[in-house]
Amino acid sequence: MNTVIKVESLQRVYRSYKKEPGFVGSLKGLVKRQYLNVEALKGISFNIQEGEFVGYIGPNGAGKTTTLKILSGLLYPTAGTVEVLGFTPWRRSNDFRRQIAFTMGQKEQLWWDLPAMESFLLNKEIYSIPQRAFNDQLAYLTELLAVKDLLDIPVRNLSLGERMKLELIASLLHRPRLLFLDEPTIGLDVVSQKKMRDFLKEYNRREKTTIIFTSHYLKDIEELCPRVIIINAGSLLFDGGLDELTRKYSPHKVLKLTFTDGIPAGIERYGEVIGQDELTVTLHVNEEGVAHCARELLGNFSIEDISIVEVPLEDTIRKIFLTQE
């Protein structure tokens, strides 16, 4: 399997002007300016293989978008080495740009007052897509996303979910080998989010396109990304599979029990109580002992219902971030 992205000791420092408040502060700034250096990325390293679907997650300000902008050539790094598809991204060669696409949920590439088809035809010329290849790819994408009837409607008249589908099509018409998706499901309702996830999963399976995906909706990450890279405050905290993440940071399961005659005394000896009401209690139980614990409870008490589930990914991620504060 080919390595598509190689990142080694990547750093990015932003320099910003610090201004004191008021008129006096403005005058001081004319004479002598004070600057702040903000480290957005602090020497992170990782490799991504061809065809991978990687979730790149972290809190606001972690450095996610900065990383994607460097990988796509929109920003220069302060230090470190980056190789994407065999190219140095910020040199922005035509051969490099024809092989990538970058879709941001909060920025538009379609012309607002024109039908999406007009933007698609413009992209066809920009990327020198042959007519037959353009027709085939457009037909395939519009069918998969069920938007054939929207191509001739001005973008301003579309819903957010409809527009995001067409934004994706605009990014995929030239069949990029590498796709950067920065929160493409932001603001979408749960139905539109699900449709977007289904499309991306199927497209990655069929086309083997390498996808780097950022999202604050962890349901997106759970359904789409076998591998996750977690960063916080510019530092890499974790790089691996979701199963490995759970084993490392949440080596227990959630045991939920509903008792017939009320919660018995001493229930805390079976695990950490994380929630309870009159008849129901929820416990964190060590993964190795959860089966034994469940058998003992069923044998000793009258239980109406019992369920054993994994710790929610959201709780695991929150725990990682809290330990870094």
pLDDT digits (tens, 9 = 90+) for 162-210: 898 999 999 999 999 999 999 888 888 888 888 889 999 999 999 999 9
The vertex-101 CA angle with 97 and 104, nearest 5°, equals 135
SS3 (DSSP) at 136? helix
Half-sphere exposure of 54 (CA within 13 A, CB side): 22
Q: Which domains does the chain have, with CATH numbers?
A: 3-246 (3.40.50.300), 251-324 (3.30.70)
Give the DSSP H or E segment for 294.
helix 290-300
For 11-24, give one letter per residue: b (16+ CB within 10 A) or e.
bbeeeeeeeeeeee
Cβ–Cβ under 8 Å, residues 308 and 252:
no
What beta strand segments (E) does 147-245 contain?
Answer: 178-182, 210-214, 227-232, 235-241
Tens of pLDDT, residue by residue over 102-156, are: 988 777 888 989 999 999 999 999 999 999 999 999 999 999 888 999 999 999 9
Tens of pLDDT, residue by residue over 73-100, are: 999 999 999 999 999 999 999 999 999 9
Q: Give yes or no for residue 7 having a pLDDT over 90.
A: yes
- Within 10 A of 92 (CB to CB), how many other CB atoms are there? 12
Give the DSSP H or E segment for 262.
none
